[in-house]
Chain A
């Protein structure tokens, strides 16, 4: 009986472990300075994990950006993109400004959303699960094996 229970417990632990591993660990994204337009942020669910979704109509990183923690580092001196969607654990910034910031109920999304017409953030750090870019223009892209 004890053997069966142990086997059952081991099975559930294995299944739980496999399910937990379906979402890869987030990758740290660091941006020294970020300018943006049409920001939208809301809480969502990604593979059973609570995440923060950030949509940016337009963004510019004049100081470059860095994705680390991958088998390689992704670094560029300048990046400008449109239609950016970032799914992250959270977003941190040392300082920033948001223009015409609203916190409002979105009847379509059925949740509260933060919207801002524009702004900037300094020393941005975000552990990201996924980044989707509509368009991207970059300068001096470097891929370094880590």
Chain B
């Protein structure tokens, strides 16, 4: 009877979310503010121990994800990141113990290979996470959005290539019934830059544009190929932070743009 009681207590403690287990504020609900990952096909090798897993820390190696959709609640809305194909050699995710148990139950046959460090492939996986970080990510067909672009109202920014040393997506803002996300980037360089406003149309082109600090309120950012040296989604409030980012052929729809200083080479401004 005592053993049963002790076991029930241990199970109850384990089922608590990590924040509550650490003695965090009881007013914060776990599920409501967490972000969601929906993955079409997930291939990974487990790198965390049993106790780490029970406490909701999932460490994984050689991760490949196909058709990933991340929904991150921020400010006035939800930031959505859609990626066709993702690869990362190492990622750490913090989830609730209940989530771990749920994943274990739905993939019981893979439990032993997973604990033995073998690669497993799962389809149609949904993970509710509290935070995550990954290194050396390659993302193909990546779309980050808070709403749908409206060409008659939004500014278009395009380039052959874009690099930023740091990128932080702080919050989703709603202005004049338009949802956009506020992104701050450091050390931005764009090759063959084009910026076009809605009618009366005005274009700026430059062979090279660089800015030490850029504040952008974007409706969407698309790139067919993105490389990130590091990426992190922080615990609540969820902020997306990335370092060493390279985007090929980015297409940005923005509602506002502010650059602390912009250096332009071979600039041309013209009505279009």
Contacts and interface: CB of A to CB of B under 8 A. Distances in A.
A associates with B? yes
Interface of A: 41-45, 50-52, 54, 89-105, 111-112, 114, 116, 121
A97 B271 contact: no
A42 B202 contact: yes
A41 to B, nearest CB: 6
Interface of B: 155, 195, 197-198, 200-202, 204, 211, 254, 256-272
Nearest to A97: B263
A43 B262 contact: no
A114 B204 contact: yes
Nearest to A118: B261
Contacts of A52: 202, 269-271
A97 B195 contact: no
Does more than half of chain B's interface fall in helix, strand or loop, or is it mixed? Answer: strand
Nearest to B259: A101
10 contacts: A43-B197, A43-B200, A43-B201, A90-B269, A92-B269, A93-B264, A93-B267, A97-B262, A101-B258, A112-B202
A108 to B, nearest CB: 14
B200 A45 contact: yes
A60 B201 CA distance: 28
Given A50-B200, A52-B270, A92-B269, 8 more contacts: A50-B201, A52-B271, A101-B258, A101-B259, A104-B256, A112-B197, A112-B198, A114-B204
B202 A121 contact: no
Given A42-B202, A104-B256, A112-B155, A89 B264 contact: no
Contact of B259 (A42, A94, A100): A100
Given A43-B197, A98-B262, A103 B267 contact: no
